[in-house]
Amino acid sequence: MVKLPGILLCADWSLAPGRRAVYGALPAARRVLRLAPPAGGWNVERLVEAAAPHGDAIIGVDAPLGLPASYLAAARGPFGLDPGAGFVPWLEAALARPACFEVGGSAAAWSVTRPFFRPPPGKGSLQAFVAAAAQQGVDLWRRGERASGGKSVFTFGLPGQVAPAAQALWRELGAARAAGLPFRIWPFEAALGDGGVKLAEIYPRAAYGVALGEKAPWPSMALAKTQAAVRAAAIDRLRQARWIREAEVALDGLDAALESEDEFDACLAAAALLRLQLAGSPLCGSVDEVAEGGILCTWDPRNDAGTARSGASG
DSSP output for the chain: -PPPPSEEEEEE--SSGGG-EEEEEETTTTEEEEEPPPTT---HHHHHHHHGGGSSEEEEESS-----HHHHHHHTTTTTPPTT--HHHHHHHHHT-GGGG--B--GGG-BTTB--B-PPSSTTHHHHHHHHHHHTT--SS-HHHHHHTPPPTTB-SSTT--HHHHHHHHHHHHHHHHTT---EETTTT--TTSSSEEEEEE-HHHHHHHHH-SSSS-------TTSHHHHHHHHHHHHT-HHHHHHT-EE--HHHHHH-HHHHHHHHHHHHHHHHHHHT--SB---BTTTTB-EET---TTTT---TTTTTT-
Instruction: Confirm if 158 and 119 have CB atoms less than 8 A apart.
Output: yes
At residue 5 the predicted structure's pLDDT band, cuts being 50, 70 and 90, is: confident
What is the reported pLDDT for 312? Answer: 41
What is the reported pLDDT for 224? Answer: 85
pLDDT of residue 1 exceeding 70: no
- Overall average pLDDT of the 70-90 stretch: 97
pLDDT of residue 110 exceeding 50: yes
Burial 34-63 (b: 16+ CB within 10 A, else e): bbeeeeeebbbebbbebbbebebbbbbbbb
- Overall average pLDDT of the 22-36 stretch: 97
At residue 3 the predicted structure's pLDDT band, cuts being 50, 70 and 90, is: low
Least confident of 38-47, 56-65, 230-239, 302-311: 302-311
What is the reported pLDDT for 220? Answer: 82
Comparison of pLDDT for 236 and 159, the residue scoring more: 236
What is the reported pLDDT for 314? Answer: 45
At residue 13 the predicted structure's pLDDT band, cuts being 50, 70 and 90, is: very high
What is the reported pLDDT for 174? Answer: 95
Instruction: Please classify residue 180 by burial: count the beta carbons closer than 10 Å to its beta carbon, then call 0-12 exposed, 13-18 middle and 19+ buried.
Output: exposed
- Overall average pLDDT of the 228-250 stretch: 97
CA distance 186 to 294: 8
CA distance 242 to 249: 10
Q: Per residue in 113-123, pLDDT tens?
A: 999 999 998 88
CA distance 8 to 281: 15
At residue 210 the predicted structure's pLDDT band, cuts being 50, 70 and 90, is: very high
What is the reported pLDDT for 307? Answer: 41
CA distance 15 to 84: 31
CA distance 50 to 35: 9
φ, ψ of residue 11 to 5 degrees: the values are -115, 125
What is the reported pLDDT for 301? Answer: 73
- Overall average pLDDT of the 228-238 stretch: 96
Least confident of 37-51, 93-107, 214-228, 243-257: 214-228
Comparison of pLDDT for 219 and 27, the residue scoring more: 27
% of the chain surpassing 90 pLDDT: 81
% of the chain surpassing 70 pLDDT: 95
pLDDT of residue 263 exceeding 70: yes
Q: For the CA atoms of 185, 168, 119, 158, what is the dihedral angle to 10 degrees?
A: 90
Whether pTM > 0.85 for this model: the answer is yes
